[in-house]
Amino acid sequence: MHTVLIVDDDAMIVKGLELIVDWSGMGFEIVGTARDGEEGFQAVQQLRPDIVLTDIKMPYKSGLEMIEDCLSNGLQPAFVVLTGFNEFEYAKRALKSRVADYLLKPIDEAELISVLTNIRTQLADGERRKSDLSALERRLQESYPILREKFIGDMVKGSLTPIELSEENLKYYDIRLAGDVFQIVMLDQEFADTDEDQRMLSEMKLMEIIQEALGQCGIYALVARIEERMVVVLSGEGDEFLRLREGLESIQRAADKWLGLRLTIGVSTTAGREELPTLYTEVVTAVRYKMYEGKGSVIYYSQLNRLDQSTYGYLEDQARLLISGVSEMDVEKVYAVIDDLFEKIQRTGMLSPDSVYRMCTEILFETRKALTEIGVNMDDIVDEDIFSKKVMSRYETLEELKHWLGVIFKNTIDFIDRRSSRVNGEPIDPIILFMNANYDKNIDLELISKTFYIDPSYFCKVFKKTTGVTYLSYLTQIRMAKACEFLKNPQNKVYEIAGKTGYEDQRYFSQVFRKHTGMTPSDYQRIQTKN
């Protein structure tokens, strides 16, 4: 129901307006009347009507003066002016567009109904727009924290244009940059709560802890959650950062005490505002070096030993040792090889986390190839994609990664033991694995007999019956396949490859290779390197 106020010094006109139309039936209610512009102004202030029907000429204060007073005080009902014919042009010029409509006296019922209908439509549209605007403002207010975090994230990643980084936008998102020197801190946290609401409360509490701890150290901090981690952008003149370590240790203690969180913290170097994307990359790298430092560490990018190895000459040897351990069903040997590998990684500290993951992938890939030789699919042994970076990166420290590899190889041994092809109770699969792992050694019948406790002559029979070839032919096939792989690298010399594949005599190696492939090792290498 829309409300109406009538302002006119003629009581008869007021009474006539009250009776001329069915106000209630049209959705209106007359809430008051006034005899002049002053009373009308006070009534508008008190009643806040949606519509005011007012005469122009009235004693003490005219209708025009009343409208001016209302507009000056922010009161904007829909004004409908009642005027005589001789006043119409004057009123029209004076009021311009500040009134909703005009009605000439005497008032015609049909014209009044038409004016009221139009105003009712306008009021309804205005209410809808106001409602839509209010809903939009509510949604914007609810989304503001998310939009602010996204803006900060885009800022540190370098995704914003200079126009988007305007002072106006910084002010809108309440982002104050306290100086020209910047540093970024990243907190790697693992919330135990799976409940989304509880997790949000924990994150809010962690933000408060960060602000308070750094504030006590005189450091201005801009905190945002970026890709599930807390990122803190520090800005100042540089001297403020001298107490940063103190502040970070305080954050770790408070997070542990109040939230039960063990925080790993990465810290970038310092630079100007234009280098924020570089600082963000540094801090992401620093956090990943918890692989070496362990969870709960404070890791400074400037202190990282970032020398990296692009080739790993010993990887194949490690893989073969592990395969040999699997073939001999020797879990302790497998664990010893893995321990040795990770001890070397830890001792050197030269490999980036990505390089360590690639090393593990290479070792598992070599193992898969060897298992394929005996018809075993690694997917049957493990229930996850072990070659996926996403899967592997779940293991964030060297200790976790080492344990994961140990479990894989232990499960492999158990699987081989259960499914090994047996002829009269003798295992053949482990022997084939052993040959794949030790092709560079003198694998004679005596070595096989001692390793697997099997009679040599009996072994020859069961091996040929199982594989269709003699054990020597099978071993030669393995060696020639490896020789072809080595020859694809032009830096490998033929005499070196002979030794790597178990042949002490280079000439004999060349004869066997030519018989197997139809060309000499040198010719094969030349053709391969041309391609």
Give residue-wise pLDDT tens across range 408-433: 999 999 998 887 644 445 578 889 99
pLDDT digits (tens, 9 = 90+) for 462-502: 899 888 999 999 999 999 999 998 998 888 899 999 999 99
Residue 145: cis peptide before it, omega within 30 degrees of 0: no
Looking at residue 203, what DSSP letter applies?
H
User: pLDDT (tens digit, 9 = 90+) per residue, 205-229?
Assistant: 999 999 999 999 999 999 999 988 9
pLDDT reported for residue 420: 65
**Beta strand extents in 10-69 (DSSP E only):** 28-34, 51-55
Contact 30, 43 (CB under 8 A): no
Burial class (CB within 10 angstroms; exposed 0-12, middle 13-18, buried 19+) of 346: middle
Nearest partner of 321 among 308, 310, 330, 313, judged by Cα = 330
140: confidence class by pLDDT, cuts 50, 70, 90: low
pLDDT > 70? residue 136: no
Tell me, what's the pLDDT at 374? 84
What is the strand order of the sheet 78-83 is part of?
28-34, 2-7, 51-55, 78-83, 101-104
176-303 under CATH 3.40.50.150, yes or no:
no
CA within 13 Å, CB half, 339: 6
pLDDT at 96: 55
Phi, psi torsion values for 108, nearest 5 degrees: -90, 130
- Cα 73 from chain centroid? 51
Strand partners, 223: 232
User: pLDDT per residue over 6-17, tens digit each?
Assistant: 999 999 999 999
Question: For residues 168 and 166, what is the distance between their CA atoms, to the nearest angstrom?
Answer: 5
Q: Measuring CA to CA, which residue among 263, 165, 167 is closest to residue 206?
A: 263
Of the candidates 164, 124, 175, the residue with the CA atom closest to the CA atom of residue 2: 124
Which pLDDT band holds residue 389 (cuts at 50, 70, 90)? confident
DSSP 80-112: EEEE-HHHHHHHHHHHTTSSSEEEESSPPHHHH
Q: What is the DSSP string of 124-190?
A: HHHHHHHHHHHHHHHHHHHHHHHHHHHHHHHHHHT-S-TTTT-HHHHHHTT----SSEEEEEEEE--
Rg (CA), the chain: 42
- Distance from chain centroid for Cα 201: 20
- Determine the pLDDT at residue 383: 84
Can you say whether the dihedral through the CA atoms of 346, 351, 353, 357 is positive or negative? negative
Q: Bigger pLDDT: 161 or 190?
A: 161
Calpha distance 309→359 (Å, rounded): 10
The residue-averaged pLDDT of 157-183 equals 90
Residue with tokens 């006296």: 105
How far apart are alpha carbons 314 and 200 in whole angstroms?
47
Predicted confidence (pLDDT) per residue in 34-67, tens digit = 999 999 999 999 999 999 999 988 888 888 889 9
Which is nearest to 2 in space by CA: 68, 42, 47?
47
Given this model, what pLDDT does residue 297 score?
A: 93
Q: What's the order of all strands across the beta sheet hosting 298-300? A: 221-226, 229-236, 181-188, 264-271, 298-300
Q: What pLDDT, on a 0 to 100 scale, did the predictor assign at position 162? A: 87
Distance of alpha carbon 237 from alpha carbon 152, whole angstroms? 20
Least-confidence region, from 224-238, 247-261, 398-412, 423-437: 423-437
Average pLDDT of the segment spanning 373-399: 87
Instruction: Quote the CATH superfamily of domain 2-128.
Output: Response regulator (3.40.50.2300)
Does the pLDDT at position 310 exceed 60?
no
Measured from the Cβ of residue 46, the count of other Cβ atoms closer than 10 Å reads: 11
Region 247-264: mean pLDDT is: 93
Residue 309 has a pLDDT of 43
The CATH code of the domain at 473-530 is 1.10.10.60
How far is the C-alpha of 9 from the C-alpha of 22, rounded, in Å? 23
Q: Which residues pair with 412 in a beta bridge?
A: none
Average pLDDT over residues 521-526: 92
Q: Please give the share of the chain, as a percent, with pLDDT higher than 90.
A: 50
Strands 426-427 and 422-423, by their bridges, are antiparallel
Q: What angle do CA 120, 124, 126 make, to 5 degrees?
A: 115
Give the count of beta carbons closer than 10 Å to the beta carbon of residue 22. 9
Q: 178-198 b/e with 16+ CB inside 10 Å = b?
A: eeebbbbbbbbbebeeeeeee
Per-domain residue ranges of the chain = 2-128, 176-303, 315-468, 473-530
Q: Which residue has the higher pLDDT, 188 or 134?
A: 188
The answer to whether residue 245 scores a pLDDT higher than 70 is yes
DSSP 76: -
Q: Are 498 and 513 contacting, i.e. CB atoms less than 8 angstroms apart?
A: no
Average pLDDT over residues 323-336: 92
Rounded to an integer, the average pLDDT of 122-126 is 83
Q: Can you name the residues that pair with 102 across neighbouring β-strands?
A: 81
